Amino acid sequence: MARISRITNQQILEAARQVFLQQGFGASTLEIAQQAGISEASIFKRFSTKEELFFAAMGIPEKPLWVNELESLCGEGDLKENLINICLKIMEFYTEVLPQIMMLRSRGNALPEPGDKEPRPIGDVKALTAFLEDEINQNRLRPCDPQTVAHILLGSLMNYVFLEQISSQVSIKTDNLPTITYLNSEDRATEVSTFIQNFVDIVWQGIAPIQD
């Protein structure tokens, strides 16, 4: 008798995503296990908590890639160009994550409670604030409130993605659930790049280092 192939993590995540999109975070891991055709115990051999499974299934990383890159950029290269590249990666991150969150919210489905952990958007603000503060301390930015600048940057980028989502006229079906999306075309890539370039140009006028 042929040996049944072992289920992959990706197959578990696909099953979890389908159930979470239908029921939100309140869905039981037993139902996810049944959907994947495995035991409930098998899920927790791969994912330590239900929260970890949820964020992995929904494509929401523990720490965004752009946050991981901030430390290596601090004090290096052209700061304005760094900000443009950071904003591009932040936009890419929110383009992937925000539609998932909006879908769950629109369907009335619950998200995990932060518990003892700070909400992830707050962590993003803190990470960007720390980066800007370090650049100010190195005199690569003029003295200003880094947290305010971080809110301006993140809030504007999130709002751009949000407006794209609610104004989009393109709809697709995913796992038999209605989803609003937009085409990842070259035209959109050019539009996003132009927006970020112009946006950073405007913000830069207020935070550029004071020339002697």
Q: Kindly report the pTM of this predicted structure.
A: 0.74
Mean of pLDDT values over 171-187 = 49
Gap between the Cα atoms of 208 and 139, Å rounded:
10
Q: Which helix (H) or strand (E) holds 171?
A: strand 170-174
Strand partners of residue 179 = 172
| Mean predicted lDDT score pLDDT of the chain | 83
Residue 167 clears pLDDT 60, i.e. is over it? yes
From residue 116, how far is each of 24, 58, 64, 120, 188 by CA, in Å?
Answer: 21, 21, 20, 12, 39
Domains of the chain are: 9-57 (1.10.10.60), 65-207 (1.10.357)
Gap between the Cα atoms of 80 and 159, Å rounded:
21
Min mean pLDDT across 11-25, 26-40, 109-123, 143-157 is at 109-123
Phi, psi of 96 (to 5 degrees): -80, -40
Per-residue pLDDT reduced to its tens digit, 83-132 = 999 999 999 998 888 877 777 776 666 677 665 566 777 889 999 999 99
- Residue 43's pLDDT band, with cuts at 50, 70 and 90, is very high
